[in-house]
């Protein structure tokens, strides 16, 4: 068959139409092979992909026709192992051999000869001056008009290169999309403790909090939630998000104390490729991930001073810069912050910025501890027991009046979180039983850690010592020694102060920005 200009154009058009709708490798390859067989005969067709980084080649799809050796190597192999592919990739020119028998001492060609193939034509697949790989046609008998066929297949290889490149890009985008969907599903899913219809209370204090949430949910005002550990600050933050117009976007929780200080800024704001050792790719930070949605900064009091300043700028300017990148990134997300500390005391101690406090404290919600809203305890015990029993497919424990009185009198240092854990233990260990006041006492006693009071006292002393040192560092702007230093102010030897600073994980450099008080 001969190929004039019109025939060549028609051939290329038909190839394009045949492969343009294919969405996986095998379909594309088989459609291409079927279309090419209409225009010339071949005994084997294969497409190799080239990886410049690893200097290796791999099959794009299962080869069509004769299989040298009988088994197709699907894994990648060194470029050096493919004599013909190596010549094409390195020269970026077609390689045409009309008598393979002259090169059968080369292992890859020897296998072809053994399989009955005696001629081959290989062409580079070039896209935007990048070598994507090579396409190979092999024959038992060398084809006629080989020079003209070489010209035709050179044009074909360009068309195939575009189709293969588009296919690979499509597959990569599909993979990325699946990854992002998984990430989105993970971030959107409620925590184990959050179900919007499982919020129970009887107290006027909680009714007022819910009223505030409903009034502010449809705005973009920043919200500051305070309260002891275990009171449900995370739950309320999710409630605000789910009642807001942003509920279709991400709720991104960031637990400030859980992030390594050295990577804190990268976690929040992301980093550019090459920003620091190990930053091999661009990283999207949590603020960028929350674009359109809500970012929840849990335990905001633990945010380092330097990052507090950056957070303040984000709230003011609605943009930020990634680590290692000077280009501003616009951001549109609602900020909800929570803490179990008294931020006003932290401000006095010099560990929290006053201007950031005012910026965060647009809507303020204080969640009282469970011991201050005891009327909620019987409701929580009864309703949460019903839910846990249903989830575990077990009969509910039944609480007698004296048992509920004892539960209501308990101080609940762990608040609602502790109550939920007790409910789970009761459903597991006392399913279907009637629970007495004595049973409650024993269960509470067994759940209480040994030496709990001593540990609480130690923690209180440690916090007090830390506050004193932080206050001194804030007043001296991070200076330790000398007449104006923190050691002098605290009446401590400098070495002792340095030891305490290290033990309490305090960083004096964080306080350099503060003026003396």
pLDDT on residue 243: 93
469, 421: one domain = no
Of the residues 368, 403, 426, the one at which a domain ends:
368
For residues 229 and 330, membership in a common domain is answered with yes
- Average pLDDT over every residue of 489-495: 81
Distance of CA 246 to the CA centre of its chain: 20
Looking at 22-31, 316-325, 454-463, which range is the least confident one?
454-463
Highest mean pLDDT among 174-183, 393-402, 500-509: 393-402
Instruction: Quickly state the pLDDT bin for 71 (edges 50, 70, 90).
Output: very low
- The answer as to whether 287 is a domain residue is yes
pLDDT-derived band at 453 (thresholds 50, 70, 90) equals: very low
Look up the CATH number of the domain holding residue 140: 3.30.450.40
Report the chain's mean pLDDT, rounded to a whole number: 84
Query: Residue 443 is part of which domain span?
Result: 372-447
What integer is the mean pLDDT of 95-106? 88
The answer, as to whether pTM is greater than 0.95, is no
pLDDT per position as a tens digit, 214-256: 999 999 999 999 999 999 999 999 999 999 999 988 898 888 8
Residue 244's nearest CA partner among 129, 308, 342, 336 is 336
Residues 363 and 383 in one domain: no
412: alpha, beta or left? (left if phi > 0; alpha if psi -120 to 50): left
pLDDT cut 90: percent of the chain above it: 42
What does the block give as tokens for 307? 């990052």
State whether 364 and 380 are in the same domain.
Answer: no
Q: Which residues of 429-463 are buried (b: 16+ CB within 10 A; e: fewer)?
A: ebeeeebebebbeebeeeeeeeeeeeeeeeeeeee
Count of domains forming the chain: 4
Does 308 lie in the same domain as 248?
Answer: yes
Give 338-362 pLDDT, tens digit per residue.
Answer: 999 999 999 998 999 999 999 999 9
Q: Which two tokens stand for residue 90?
A: 């390195």
* 433 and 486 housed in the same domain: no
């Amino acid at each position: 068959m001969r190929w004039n200009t019109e025939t060549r154009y028609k051939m290329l058009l038909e190839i394009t139409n045949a492969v343009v709708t294919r969405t996986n490798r095998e379909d594309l390859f088989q459609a291409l092979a079927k279309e090419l067989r209409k225009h010339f005969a071949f005994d084997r067709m294969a497409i190799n992909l080239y990886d410049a980084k690893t200097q290796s080649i791999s099959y794009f799809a299962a080869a069509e026709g004769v299989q040298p050796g009988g088994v197709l190597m699907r894994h990648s192999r060194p470029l050096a192992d493919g004599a013909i592919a190596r010549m094409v990739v390195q020269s970026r020119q077609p390689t045409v051999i009309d008598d393979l028998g002259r090169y059968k001492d080369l292992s890859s060609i020897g296998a072809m000869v053994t399989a009955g193939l005696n001629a081959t034509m290989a062409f580079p697949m070039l896209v935007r001056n990048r070598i994507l790989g090579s396409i190979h046609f092999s024959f038992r008998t060398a084809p006629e008009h080989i020079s003209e066929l070489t010209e035709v297949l050179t044009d074909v290889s360009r068309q195939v290169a575009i189709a293969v490149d588009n296919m690979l890009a499509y597959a990569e985008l599909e993979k990325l999309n699946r990854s992002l969907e998984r990430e989105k599903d993970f971030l959107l899913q409620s925590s184990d403790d959050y179900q919007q219809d499982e919020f129970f209370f009887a107290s006027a204090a909680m009714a007022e909090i819910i009223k505030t949430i409903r009034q502010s949910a449809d705005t973009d005002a920043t919200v500051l939630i305070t309260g002891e550990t275990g009171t449900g600050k995370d739950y309320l933050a999710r409630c605000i998000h789910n009642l807001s117009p942003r509920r279709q976007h991400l709720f991104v929780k960031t637990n400030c104390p859980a992030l390594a200080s050295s990577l804190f800024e990268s976690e929040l704001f992301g980093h550019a490729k090459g920003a620091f050792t190990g930053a091999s790719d661009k990283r999207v930070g949590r603020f960028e991930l929350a674009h359109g949605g809500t970012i929840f900064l849990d335990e905001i009091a633990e945010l380092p001073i330097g990052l507090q300043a950056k957070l303040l700028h984000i709230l003011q300017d609605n943009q930020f810069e990634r680590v290692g990148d000077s280009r501003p990134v616009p951001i549109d997300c609602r900020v909800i912050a929570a803490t179990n500390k008294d931020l006003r005391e932290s401000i006095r101690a010099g560990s929290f910025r006053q201007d950031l406090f005012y910026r965060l404290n647009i809507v303020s919600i204080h969640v009282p501890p469970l011991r201050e809203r005891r009327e909620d305890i019987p409701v929580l015990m009864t309703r949460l027991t019903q839910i846990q029993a249903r989830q575990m497919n077990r009969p509910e424990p039944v609480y007698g009046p004296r048992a509920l009185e004892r539960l209501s009198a308990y101080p609940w240092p762990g608040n609602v979180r502790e109550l939920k854990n007790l409910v789970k233990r009761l459903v597991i260990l006392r399913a279907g039983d009637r629970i007495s006041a004595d049973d409650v006492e024993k269960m509470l006693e067994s759940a209480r850690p040994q030496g709990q009071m001593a540990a609480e006292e130690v923690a209180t002393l440690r916090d007090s010592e830390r506050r004193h040192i932080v206050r001194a560092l804030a007043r001296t702007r991070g200076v330790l020694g000398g007449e104006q230093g923190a050691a002098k102010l605290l009446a401590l030897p400098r070495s002792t102060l340095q030891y305490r600073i290290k033990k309490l994980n305090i960083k004096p450099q964080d306080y350099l920005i503060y003026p003396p008080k």
